Amino acid sequence: MSAYYKEIIASNIEAHRKSAGMSQRDLAAKIGVTSGAISNWEKGKNSIDIDTLYKVCQVLNVSLDAMCGVDEEKITLSSTEEELIKAFRRCTRERKDIILELVGIKRDARTSQESNKEVI
């Protein structure tokens, strides 16, 4: 698990647990782990496995997407991803086409028309 997601998940486990009014001991008992495991996940010392994270989400009534920092209305981008988007937007149409080809994205007719308007 990347450090980026590890930090987000750690922070979200703690925030959602507290929001639910649960102690680390309460959550641990409900998912069958020790309170020390909860503490280590929340501090980012250890990574939680996906099956256990799913149990945590069920107990806290939180979607897996939300726990991982993915909001349906807003997707969190890393600083590198933001820089890539900014650089892409500064490119000429021809360079955008080259980049899209390199990453395996094919433009459809609608996208090509939109790119003429500099939407991409």
* Ordered structural domains, the chain, with CATH: 3-67 (1.10.260.40), 79-116 (no CATH)
Q: What is the pLDDT of residue 116?
A: 47
Enter the tokens of residue 30.
């409900």
- Each residue's pLDDT tens digit, 21-78: 999 999 999 999 999 999 999 999 999 999 999 999 999 999 998 898 886 556 667 7
Q: Under 8 Å CB-to-CB from 52, ≥6 apart: which residues?
A: 31, 33
pTM for the structure as a whole: 0.59
